[in-house]
């Protein structure tokens, strides 16, 4: 967008003046409808003309420097001390519960959502 504004500023001597007006999206229903048509790839209604721009319509003065791809960053993620399923498996196989009453109620309540399949 900055490149387009810079190109317009170069042409300002050829006009009496330049005014920029920001249209709030809620108050610009036509642009909203057009963006919905474009994003959903819907059929363009009659009377609306479409032009696909495959290249920028202005030439940028500065060249874009291409950087080599960044080296992949490898992070060591520590494995959890205990598997979150372990407490459910213990409860479902041997009815072993924690000593804390609140944790026991929570485990019993949450374990109703799980079924142990092929317990070997």
Residues 22/79, Cβ–Cβ less than 8 Å: no
Phi-psi map region of 8: left, alpha, beta (phi>0 left; psi -120 to 50 alpha): alpha
Q: pTM of the prediction? A: 0.31
pLDDT digits (tens, 9 = 90+) for 23-66: 776 788 877 887 888 788 788 778 777 777 788 777 767 766 76
pLDDT digits (tens, 9 = 90+) for 91-108: 888 888 888 889 889 888
């Amino acid at each position: 967008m900055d490149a387009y504004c810079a190109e317009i500023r170069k042409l300002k001597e050829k006009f009496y003046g330049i005014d920029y007006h920001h249209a709030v999206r809620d108050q610009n229903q036509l642009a909203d409808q057009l963006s919905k048509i474009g994003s959903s790839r819907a059929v363009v209604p009659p009377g609306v003309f479409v032009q696909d721009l495959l290249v920028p319509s202005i030439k940028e003065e500065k060249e874009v420097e291409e950087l080599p791809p960044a080296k992949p960053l490898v992070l060591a993620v520590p494995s959890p001390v205990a598997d979150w399923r372990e407490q459910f498996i213990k409860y479902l196989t041997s009815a072993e519960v924690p000593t804390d009453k609140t944790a026991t109620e929570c485990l019993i309540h949450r374990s109703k959502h799980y079924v142990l399949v092929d317990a070997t």
